[in-house]
Amino acid sequence: MREKPQQQIAPIYHRRIGDIVVTAVSDGTLERTYEMMLGVPEDEAHKHLAAACRSSFVLSVNAFLIRSRDRLALVETGSGAYLGPTAGHLMANLEAAGVRPAEIDTILLTHMHPDHSAGLTDMTTGTANYANAELVVHENEPRHWFDDTAMGRGSEREKRLMFQQAREQTAPYRSRMRTFTKGEVLPGVTALPMPGHTPGHTGYLIESGGERLLIWGDVVHMPEVQVPRPEVSMVVDTDPAAAAASRRRVFDMAASERLLVTGMHLHFPGFAHVVREGAGHRLVSEAWRQTL
Ligand SMILES: [Zn+2]
């Protein structure tokens, strides 16, 4: 008998922004629970989930290639071997997209959590997965995750998955790491700091030929709950109140400017618009197109 498929073929989606092509490449998915959330009663969180016709909190884990005329950048590196078998598929999916890791000249990180930076280095050999890439990140990320005092305050899980992971994953890149505070980081790519989730959490605004796309990192983890209720933060936020303030500010900007957005945990490929609805907001997914 013919075998039934057990998982997706490589999830890849291209979107043209002027002269730049942005490609969403999936690292996989993560199952999470209500306990991830702060500031919302459990029955209300599940009511939002039910209203979206979903039965569990499944998160996409996305990364994005940015192809401009003479650059090939990758935003995030996925989960590597840190978060179990449903994620950590970015390298295989890049290969399916026809991209060799050695071709990538720049890696932009929105922050140094394990679903974003844990695909930088192969820990079985200690070698960089991206042999020729410069690592570009907000200066507050290494400042925080490399700080022993901050690490001392973390739980055992935080010490291992956040602080230790950030240190060991970036180690082969130390001599080719560039930090920024804000502003243009690559031609057509501007860093917009959105602190709170982590101290250096940053979105990237891509602009070309009059078109714009905001890759907003982890402004949202649970879209069903946090888009209508932006005050809901995550237990993994280093500063939950600042994360909520950044989320409100970014939603407001995206809605006012009718910005196309995508994110690391919007359901793959995540391209959408934010529209105001009542006192809150709603995400409207963009239609799929066969040709660019
Ligand atoms: Zn994340």
Q: Is the pLDDT reported for residue 223 higher than 80?
A: yes
Predicted local confidence at residue 279, as pLDDT: 81
Going from the Cα of 4 to the center of ligand 1, the distance in angstroms, rounded, reads 31
Going from the Cα of 1 to the center of ligand 1, the distance in angstroms, rounded, reads 40
Predicted local confidence at residue 278, as pLDDT: 85
Q: What is the mean pLDDT of the chain?
A: 97
Handedness of CA 9, 73, 185, 210 (dihedral sign): negative
Give the model's confidence band at 1: pLDDT under 50 very low, under 70 low, under 90 confident, else very high.
confident
Going from the Cα of 170 to the center of ligand 1, the distance in angstroms, rounded, reads 17
Q: Which structural domains are found in the chain, ordered by start?
A: 12-285 (3.60.15.10)
Where does residue 55 rank: exposed (0-12), middle (13-18), buried (19+ CB within 10 A)? Answer: exposed
Going from the Cα of 216 to the center of ligand 1, the distance in angstroms, rounded, reads 11
Task: Spell out the residues 6+ positions from residue 178 whose beta carbon is closer than 8 angstroms to its own.
Answer: 134, 135, 136, 137
Nearest to 92 by CA among 134, 124, 63: 63
- CA–CA dist 289, 286 (Å, integer): 9
Q: Give percent helix, percent strand, percent coil of the chain, each to the nearest 5.
A: 30, 30, 40
- CA–CA dist 216, 196 (Å, integer): 13
Residue keyed to tokens 């060799």 = 100
Instruction: Determine contact, residues 31/57, Cβ cutoff 8 Å.
Output: yes
**What average pLDDT score do residues 149-172 get?**
97
Q: Is the pLDDT reported for residue 51 higher than 80?
A: yes
Q: Is the peptide bond before 269 cis (omega within 30 degrees of 0)?
A: yes
Q: What is the pLDDT of residues 91-127, one digit of tens each?
A: 999 999 999 999 999 999 999 999 999 999 999 999 9
Q: Is the pLDDT reported for residue 280 higher than 90?
A: no
244: number of Cβ within 10 Å: 22
Q: Is the pLDDT reported for residue 137 higher than 90?
A: yes
Instruction: Determine contact, residues 166/146, Cβ cutoff 8 Å.
Output: yes
Q: Is the pLDDT reported for residue 28 higher than 80?
A: yes
